[in-house]
């Protein structure tokens, strides 16, 4: 049979979609698990079997034995799930256009070039551990894995960098300069020893001396959602709501993280606000779908505000909606696997090695 075309889903009423998603889940029963990232919209999030941040969802994927893993998140997360599951398990991303602009900022060719350029000023293989944030392609994970490096998430970046420094004196950190800088700073590394590597410039725009003194070389990537949070937003909330607690994601710029009371992954943010005493006030600096849900959950008990005056929405996370989810599930229920994410064989071994190292470091 042909796959059911997506066009049949676009105009369905929300209640119909909801019912049909539930029905398809019942048909698929034990053959399906629905992993849902904390930034997903409510219409998708409500159907989750597991929700979480990148680390928690990859740990869950690694435990799964079900043949179908529908991943409601973005492409790199589905790739990580594919790396951590077997060849008889299919990982499905309901909309293939759900990418991550940050992950796209470190593409294969410029990463290879950077390594070659670094090798002209030092013994890169002996002196540098490449570490990539999980928000990256499987190709970049493979690059790191093949050179003794690994992967990190927003929940284990400090632990992973400590692991890297126990092996080699320097780290090259992809693709999020902010997570790298914020984590390095908390580990006590001076800013002068964390220069920015600009892939558009020869030798990253750095002098051989600056590279020689560096502890972490920060790839010039960023998250366009989290860079919208600014210090003046924190100043506003502190002025208008004395006693408020500010919590932000480590993808925010250093000036913002330094002014916040707490910093953590999406799961840490949810847990911290959820467990806070009644009557407390919170301003949260991360994606708006998460914050709105938290606001709703805390209604009448705690006051939760969104840290930014404009809407900071991850437009690619937002692409996964009820019509795409329903379409993917009903096709599966009919025996058609649509939108399967498969990491190419050439990257598989080393990308898996890199991510396995991370899971091992997280366990220790
Ligand atoms: P978490 O791992 O904290 O959920 O972050 C994922 C992400 O993409 C944040 O922008
Ligand atoms: Fe990527 Fe930023 Fe969206 Fe996270 S919030 S998926 S880093 S674009």
Q: Does ligand 2 lie within 6 Å of residue 105's CB atom?
A: no
Contact 170, 214 (CB under 8 A): yes
Query: In 3D, which of 155, 65, 133 has the Cα closest to residue 355?
Result: 133
Q: Does ligand 1 lie within 6 Å of residue 150's CB atom?
A: no
Residue keyed to tokens 């932000």: 248
Q: Does ligand 2 lie within 6 Å of residue 78's CB atom?
A: no
Query: In 3D, which of 314, 291, 334 has the Cα closest to residue 75?
Result: 314
pLDDT at 363: 93
Residues of the chain with pLDDT under 70: none
Among all ligands shown, which has an atom nearest to the Cα of 269? 1
Contact 69, 44 (CB under 8 A): no
Among all ligands shown, which has an atom nearest to the Cα of 153? 1
Residues written for the chain: 364
* Token pair of 30 as six digits: 């034990």
114 Cβ contact list (under 8 Å, min separation 6): 172, 197, 199, 204, 219
Q: Does ligand 1 lie within 6 Å of residue 136's CB atom?
A: no
Contact 320, 329 (CB under 8 A): no
- What is the Å distance from ligand 2's center to 30 Cα? 31
pLDDT at 271: 98
pLDDT at 235: 98
pLDDT at 71: 98
Contact 19, 27 (CB under 8 A): no
Alpha helices in the chain, H assignment, sequence order: 14-28, 42-45, 54-63, 75-83, 108-118, 124-127, 138-146, 157-167, 177-186, 208-213, 231-240, 254-259, 266-275, 288-298, 322-333, 345-363
- What is the Å distance from ligand 2's center to 198 Cα? 20
211 Cβ contact list (under 8 Å, min separation 6): 118, 121, 122, 195, 203, 204, 217
Among all ligands shown, which has an atom nearest to the Cα of 99? 2
Residue whose CA lies nearest to ligand 1 atom number 1: 53
Backbone angles phi, psi at 38, to 5 degrees: -60, -15
The DSSP secondary-structure symbol of 40 reads S
Mutate to test the pocket of ligand 1, among 57, 74, 101, 154 (most ligand atoms within 8 A of CB): 154
Contact 4, 327 (CB under 8 A): yes
């Amino acid at each position: 049979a042909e796959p059911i075309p997506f066009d049949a889903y676009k105009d369905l009423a929300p209640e119909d979609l909801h019912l049909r998603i539930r029905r398809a889940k019942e048909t698929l029963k034990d053959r399906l698990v629905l992993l849902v990232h904390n930034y997903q919209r409510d219409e998708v999030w409500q159907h989750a079997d597991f929700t979480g941040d990148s680390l928690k969802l990859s740990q869950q994927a690694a435990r799964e034995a079900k043949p179908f893993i529908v991943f409601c998140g973005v492409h790199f997360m589905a790739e990580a799930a594919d790396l951590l599951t077997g060849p008889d398990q299919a990982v499905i991303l309901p909309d293939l256009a759900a990418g991550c602009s940050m992950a796209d900022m470190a593409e294969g060719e410029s990463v290879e070039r950077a390594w070659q350029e670094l090798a002209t000023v030092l013994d890169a293989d002996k002196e540098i551990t490449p570490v990539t944030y999980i928000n990256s392609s499987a190709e970049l994970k493979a690059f790191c894995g093949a050179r003794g490096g690994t992967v990190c998430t927003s929940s284990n970046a400090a632990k992973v960098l400590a692991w890297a420094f126990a092996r080699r004196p320097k780290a090259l950190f992809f693709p999020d300069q902010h997570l790298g800088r914020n984590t390095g700073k908390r580990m006590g590394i001076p800013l002068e020893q964390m220069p920015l590597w600009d892939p558009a410039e020869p030798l990253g725009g750095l002098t051989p001396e600056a590279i020689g003194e560096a502890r972490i070389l920060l790839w010039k990537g960023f998250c366009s959602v989290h860079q919208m949070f600014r210090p003046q937003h924190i100043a506003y909330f502190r002025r208008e709501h004395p006693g408020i607690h500010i919590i932000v994601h480590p993808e925010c710029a250093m000036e913002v993280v330094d002014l916040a009371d707490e910093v953590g992954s999406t799961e840490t943010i949810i847990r911290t606000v959820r467990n806070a005493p009644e009557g407390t006030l919170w301003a949260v600096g991360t994606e708006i779908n998460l914050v709105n849900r938290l606001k709703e959950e805390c209604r009448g008990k705690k006051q939760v505000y969104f840290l930014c005056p404009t809407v900071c929405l991850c437009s690619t996370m937002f692409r996964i909606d009820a019509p795409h989810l329903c379409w993917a599930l009903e096709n599966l229920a009919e025996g058609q696997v649509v939108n399967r994410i498969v990491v190419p064989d050439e990257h598989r071994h080393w990308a898996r090695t890199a991510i396995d190292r991370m899971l091992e470091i997280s366990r220790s």
